[in-house]
Amino acid sequence: MARVKPLAELIEGCIGPAFAAQGFASTDILAAWPDIVGERLSRYCRPSKLEWPCRRRQGTEAPDSGTLVVRVEGVFAIELQHLAPVVIQRINAHYGWACVGRIVMQQDRIGTRSRPAIPESIDPVRRGEVAQAVARIEHDGLRDALDRLGLAVVATGPKGSSR
């Protein structure tokens, strides 16, 4: 009987080569990013590449530290700049060696997605149909998600149609 593999094992095999091309040894930095920089800042910045120096310093066995390239929303670039020494320290502590020596920021949109507002001009009858359709679902989170989905479908569907 085959054992069930954790998703993390499967993902590493699929996207590991793409991360290796960007200088990352594993996908772990993305998963650990909110723990490293904090939940708030992680919504507005993401590591994009780890650049390693071309040559190793003479007479040392330890590899040189790399430069972490981080995409950051423009407004939070200053905050990340001030926190860079702490972020570097946390990354290095996470990996157990001084793999990052500095951070370079690239201002970019990160893709923080806010939920699209559902128009208030939904026909009350249609709104009632959606509410009635999801009313018997016991799980609050699932019921709320399906309610939002139903409202989005009703709001974007053709006017005057019943389905």
3-state class of 70 per DSSP? strand
140 vs 73: CA distance, rounded Å: 33
How buried is 110 (Cβ within 10 angstroms: 0-12 exposed, 13-18 middle, 19+ buried)? middle
Query: Which pTM value belongs to this model?
Result: 0.53
pLDDT values of the chain reduced to their tens digit, one per residue, 163 residues? 667 766 555 555 554 555 455 445 555 787 889 988 888 889 899 998 888 887 665 666 666 788 999 999 988 999 999 999 999 999 999 888 888 999 999 998 886 555 555 556 778 888 888 889 999 988 888 888 888 888 888 877 665 544 4
163 vs 75: CA distance, rounded Å: 43
Contact between residue 146 and residue 137 where contact means Cβ atoms under 8 Å apart: yes
Q: How far apart are the first and last CA of the chain?
A: 46
List phi, psi (to 5°) of 128. -65, -40
